[in-house]
Amino acid sequence: MTFYHPAEGWSREEIEKAQLTRLRISVQQAMRSPFYGKRMAAQGLGPDSIQSLASIRDIPFTTKADLRSGYPFDFVTVPQAELVRLHASSGTTGSPVAICHTKADLNTWADLMARCMHMIGIRKEDVFQNIAGYGLFTGGLGIHAGAERLGCLTIPSGAGNTRRQIKLIRDMNVTALHIIPSYALYLGSVLKEMGLDPRELPPRIALIGAEPHTEEARQRIEYLLGLKAYNSYGLSEMNGPGVAFECLGQNGMHVWEDCYLLEIINPRTLEPVPDGEVGELVLTTLSRKGMPVLRYRTSDLTRIIPGPCPCGRVHRRIDRILGRADDMLIIKGCNFYPMQVEQVLLSFPEVGQNYLIVLEETDGMDQVRVQVELRDDHFVEDVRALKALQQRIAHRLRDEILFTPKVELVQTNSIPKAEGKAVRVSDIRKQG
Ligand code: ADP
Ligand code: ZN
């Protein structure tokens, strides 16, 4: 097996040795920022407090609220002249957080991204189309830099304009692409509408990520686009994409532990959970200079997949993200995540590529209505058949989320499609 970067092949001991050295440097560097300077001094902590990797537990967590309070520059550790790029989280859950990078930081990030893409077989001979927004969103420039670093002919096609995307794919003989899963499903349905056979299109590999999606969604994307799709995880606070990535085994994402220290905690007790148990992912940057972040509570829920990966890399794997802690819905006393609904819906061949979970109120009671797009060739006139399908979906949902939501079958493309990350829940309950 060839590695893009030697760290990919490191043993556990080599990883941990580098982690300890880098953690000390990160803590020292972080303390140069106004935020950590104050916080660490108040706790009597410094780089010397890090005796072993376990010492990280003495450092307080950093939360999104901390990063917001430090907006825009309180986490920066270098003079502004050393900074060359600013990104911000897309603000899916509130006001933005600014992340600043030095030249060296961008270099490390591009290398990490190239490592991910190399791992799934992308090479410089590939033509790579980056179907992602090129703004503050890190999936644009972040992935772009990785593809160029590998030497691919890289097409910054941006988000939207589906027919133009398809034209580029065909004209340029695109062999690999990056696309967010909800848009990939949509693109798949447009291909179908245009009467194109995905198996005759050139792309063989896709990077999909940036939003929660199920295994069912991945399989659909692979089928609709006629390629292999690999899960890509990252967040602006940790650079963006390039934090964790699936290998050819497609069973969990390797976290690049030479650059990130990984913890999984119980979000209530804040104690570590045993390997294999679901908890909140906490990450520390180990190779970032302009803006190190220590013990960041991502609010993303996942688990460590125990055991070695057949690919030989020992960087630990995390399972696909179940959702953010605050994505959990509590209705009629039942807790569930939108991804549980997706898993059921997409297992029905009749169901199309989009859905929406509507939370509403009738007679003072919370209700859930699941709007489900049907595939065109299944949107039949036969009312009885539709009713039967509706019931089957409702029953399967009840088995999964423990109550029966209302199921509303609608035509393809009748649910509004978000520009960027998919909006899976619409809460139209009266407030207060
Ligand atoms: P925002 O937090 O505003 O969406 P980011 O673009 O930084 O801004 O998004 C990072 C978040 O996106 C992660 O914390 C996670 O919730 C989600 N995410 C990223 N990649 C994946 C993935 N592969 N699977 C599921 N969720 C993902
Ligand atoms: Zn692997």
For the segment 136-173, what is each residue's pLDDT rounded down to a tens digit?
A: 999 999 999 999 999 999 999 999 999 999 999 999 99
Ligand nearest to the CA of 297: 1
Ligand nearest to the CA of 310: 2
Q: Is 70 in the pocket of ligand 1 (CB under 6 A)?
A: no
Q: Is 323 in the pocket of ligand 1 (CB under 6 A)?
A: no
Query: Which residues share a beta bridge with 304?
Result: 318
Q: Is 222 in the pocket of ligand 1 (CB under 6 A)?
A: no
For the segment 174-183, what is each residue's pLDDT rounded down to a tens digit?
A: 999 999 999 9
**pLDDT-derived band at 233, boundaries 50, 70, 90:** very high
- Contact 77/291 with Cβ under 8 angstroms? yes
Give the span between the Cα atoms of 354 and 372, in whole angstroms: 7
**pLDDT at residue 383, rounded to an integer:** 87
Token code pair at residue 63:
């939360």
**pLDDT at residue 92, rounded to an integer:** 64
Give the span between the Cα atoms of 424 and 417, in whole angstroms: 10
**Ligand 1: centre distance to CA 210 (Å):** 5
Please state the pTM of the whole predicted model. Answer: 0.96
For the segment 70-112, what is each residue's pLDDT rounded down to a tens digit?
A: 999 999 999 999 999 999 885 666 778 999 999 999 999 999 9
Ligand nearest to the CA of 232: 1
Atom 10 in ligand 1: residue holding the nearest Cα: 235
**Ligand 2: centre distance to CA 251 (Å):** 8
**pLDDT at residue 381, rounded to an integer:** 73
Nearest to 45 by CA among 35, 60, 32: 60
Atom of ligand 1 nearest to the CA of 321: 25
For the segment 305-358, what is each residue's pLDDT rounded down to a tens digit?
A: 999 999 999 999 999 999 999 999 999 999 999 999 999 999 999 999 999 999
**pLDDT at residue 382, rounded to an integer:** 84
**Ligand 2: centre distance to CA 176 (Å):** 20
**pLDDT at residue 376, rounded to an integer:** 84
**Ligand 2: centre distance to CA 246 (Å):** 7
Q: Cα Rg for the chain, rounded, in angstroms?
A: 22
Backbone angles phi, psi at 273, to 5 degrees: -100, 155
State the DSSP string of 235-287: -GGG-SEEEEEE-TT-SSEEE-TTTEEEEEE-TTT-PBPPTTS-EEEEEEESS
The helix (H) or strand (E) run that includes residue 19 is helix 12-30
Place of tokens 């990966």: 309
- Contact 50/16 with Cβ under 8 angstroms? no
For the segment 181-230, what is each residue's pLDDT rounded down to a tens digit?
A: 999 999 999 999 999 999 899 999 999 999 999 999 999 999 999 999 99
Q: Is 211 in the pocket of ligand 1 (CB under 6 A)?
A: yes
Give the span between the Cα atoms of 148 and 141, in whole angstroms: 10
Token code pair at residue 130:
């980056």
Q: Is 90 in the pocket of ligand 1 (CB under 6 A)?
A: yes
Mean pLDDT in residue range 38-52: 94
Atom 25 in ligand 1: residue holding the nearest Cα: 212
Give the span between the Cα atoms of 421 and 219, in whole angstroms: 19
Q: Is 210 in the pocket of ligand 1 (CB under 6 A)?
A: yes
Q: Is 261 in the pocket of ligand 1 (CB under 6 A)?
A: no
Backbone angles phi, psi at 200, to 5 degrees: -100, 0
**Ligand 2: centre distance to CA 255 (Å):** 10
Q: Is 92 in the pocket of ligand 1 (CB under 6 A)?
A: yes
**Ligand 1: centre distance to CA 297 (Å):** 13
